[in-house]
């Protein structure tokens, strides 16, 4: 790969120092969580939270999974997150394709509305959102949480995807029109495969956002059997103390899918799919 900047040795040293410091800042809490997740009891965590465990008790993970009904929470989190990914990606790609490629009255207004959705925090819209979900009879249901999380994710997804769709050569779409493609066929068969990297980005963001979301499920779900992992963590909070070693084990289990999702999506970022289709 061609280097964008050529740095002198002492500049390289500085850059590497900053990057290393940043990596440590990120990895340190992760390391502490990992260390404490294998300590045998709460006392070991509280006595020396930053020390290596004297006994490495990996069974904490199995106990966290079994005793705290983690299987059920994990399944709920998966249902919520994957559904949010599918709904937000499908809707956002359709909206963005139309906003990027078709001229119609009110197009700018619609785009501005989505941009407002990006700018204004979704927390501000919680009370009316709650009323709407309740009126629709979707309160205390996974469908309600999925729809709300998809709606919250949609503005950012539209913002990202519209920029990508605008980057696709209009001549490719025109060639498909002359070949007889309907608007949906052009969207589905021609243009969508060209924005795969953007779809991977949006899907990843949607997955991580909904997997880690705490407030929305807390507000919209009452039944314990519908809880996702973020709410299920409360199991480790007993009346008098927090079971930190179990909590950390639970956190590590919870992080695993997001790490896997990042690894899977990273390939799509690298692929330059539009290369070769049109003369640059």
Partner 1 sequence: MARVELKNINKKYGDVHVLHDINLDIKEGEFVVFVGPSGCGKSTLLRTLAGLEEPSTGDIYLDNRNVVKEAPADREVAMVFQSYALYPQMTVRDNMSFGLRIAKKNKAEIDVKVEMAAQMLKLDHLLDRKPKELSGGQRQRVAIGRAIVRNPKLFLFDEPLSNLDAELRVDMRVQISKLHDELKSTMVYVTHDQVEAMTLADKIVVLRDGKVEQVGAPMQLYHHPVNQFVAGFIGSPKMNFLDVRVMEATDKSVTVALTGGDQLTLDREGNHLKSGDDLTLGIRPEHISLDGSGDASLSLTLDVIENLGAQSYVHCSGATIEKCIVLAAGEVDLPANSSIKIGLNAHNCHLFDQKGLAVKKMISQASVVRDSKVVAMS
User: Contact at 8 Å (CB) between 5 and 219?
Assistant: no
Question: In this complex, which beta carbon is closest to partner 1, that of residue 184 or of residue 214?
Answer: 184
Question: x-or-dash pattern for partner 1, window 84-113, by CB under 8 A?
Answer: ------------------------------
How many angstroms separate the CA atoms of 160 and 118, rounded? 11
Nearest to 53 by CA among 62, 63, 44, 64: 44
55 Rama class: left (phi>0) / alpha (psi -120 to 50) / beta: beta
| Least distance (Å) between residue 170 CB and partner 1 | 9
User: Contact at 8 Å (CB) between 196 and 273?
Assistant: yes
Footprint on residues 60-89 left by partner 1 (CB under 8 A): none
Question: In this complex, which beta carbon is closest to partner 1, that of residue 119 or of residue 178?
Answer: 178
| Least distance (Å) between residue 110 CB and partner 1 | 22
Question: In this complex, which beta carbon is closest to partner 1, that of residue 264 or of residue 278?
Answer: 278
Q: Which two tokens stand for residue 205?
A: 């963001």
| Least distance (Å) between residue 133 CB and partner 1 | 39
How many angstroms separate the CA atoms of 235 and 230, rounded? 10
Question: In this complex, which beta carbon is closest to partner 1, that of residue 38 or of residue 203?
Answer: 203
| Least distance (Å) between residue 182 CB and partner 1 | 8
| Least distance (Å) between residue 30 CB and partner 1 | 37
Question: In this complex, which beta carbon is closest to partner 1, that of residue 54 or of residue 179?
Answer: 179
Footprint on residues 246-275 left by partner 1 (CB under 8 A): 273-275
18 contacts partner 1 (rule: CB under 8 A): no
Phi, psi of 4 (to 5 degrees): -80, -45
Cα dihedral across residues 109, 115, 120, 123: positive or negative = positive
Nearest to 203 by CA among 255, 269, 138: 269
Question: x-or-dash pattern for partner 1, window 166-205, by CB under 8 A?
Answer: ---x-xx-xxxxxxxx---x---xx--xx-----------
CA angle 111, 207, 186 (to 5 degrees): 50
276 contacts partner 1 (rule: CB under 8 A): yes
User: Contact at 8 Å (CB) between 217 and 145?
Assistant: yes
| Least distance (Å) between residue 268 CB and partner 1 | 13
Question: In this complex, which beta carbon is closest to partner 1, that of residue 53 or of residue 277?
Answer: 277
Specify burial of residue 106 (Cβ count, 10 A radius: 0-12, 13-18, 19+). Answer: exposed
| Least distance (Å) between residue 183 CB and partner 1 | 11
Question: In this complex, which beta carbon is closest to partner 1, that of residue 25 or of residue 108?
Answer: 108
Question: In this complex, which beta carbon is closest to partner 1, that of residue 5 or of residue 104?
Answer: 104
Query: What radius of gyration, in Å, describes the C-alpha atoms of the chain?
Result: 23
Nearest to 235 by CA among 78, 65, 81: 65
Residue selected from 15, 19, 62, 278 as contacting partner 1 according to rule CB under 8 A: 278
Q: Which two tokens stand for residue 69?
A: 């009904």
| Least distance (Å) between residue 270 CB and partner 1 | 14
Residues that bind partner 1 (CB under 8 A): 169, 171-172, 174-181, 185, 189-190, 193-194, 273-279
């Amino acid at each position: 790969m061609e280097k964008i900047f050529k740095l002198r040795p002492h500049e390289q040293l500085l850059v590497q120092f900053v990057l290393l410091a940043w990596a440590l800042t990120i990895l340190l809490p992760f390391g502490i969580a990992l260390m404490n997740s294998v300590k045998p009891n709460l006392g070991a965590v509280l006595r020396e939270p930053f020390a290596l465990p004297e006994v490495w008790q990996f069974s904490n993970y199995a106990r966290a999974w079994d005793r705290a009904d983690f299987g059920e929470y994990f399944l709920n989190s998966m249902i919520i997150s994957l559904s949010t990914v599918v709904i937000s990606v499908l809707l956002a790609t359709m909206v963005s394709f139309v906003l990027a490629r078709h001229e119609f009255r009110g197009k700018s207004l619609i785009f501005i509305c989505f941009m407002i959705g990006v700018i204004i925090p979704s927390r501000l819209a919680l009370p009316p959102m709650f009323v709407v979900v309740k009126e629709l009879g979707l309160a205390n249901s996974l469908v309600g949480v999925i729809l709300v999380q998809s709606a919250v994710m949609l503005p950012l997804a539209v913002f990202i995807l519209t920029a990508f769709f605008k980057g696709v050569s209009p001549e490719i779409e025109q060639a498909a029109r002359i070949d007889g493609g309907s608007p949906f066929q052009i969207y589905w068969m021609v243009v969508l495969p060209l924005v795969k990297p953007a779809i991977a980005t949006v899907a990843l963001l949607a997955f991580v956002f909904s997997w880690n979301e705490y407030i929305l499920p807390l507000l919209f779900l009452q039944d314990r059997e519908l809880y996702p992992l973020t709410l299920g963590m409360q199991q480790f909070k007993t009346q008098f103390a927090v079971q930190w070693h179990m909590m950390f084990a639970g956190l590590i289990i919870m992080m695993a899918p997001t790490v896997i999702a990042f690894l899977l999506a990273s390939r799509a970022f690298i692929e330059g799919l539009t290369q070769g289709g049109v003369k640059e």
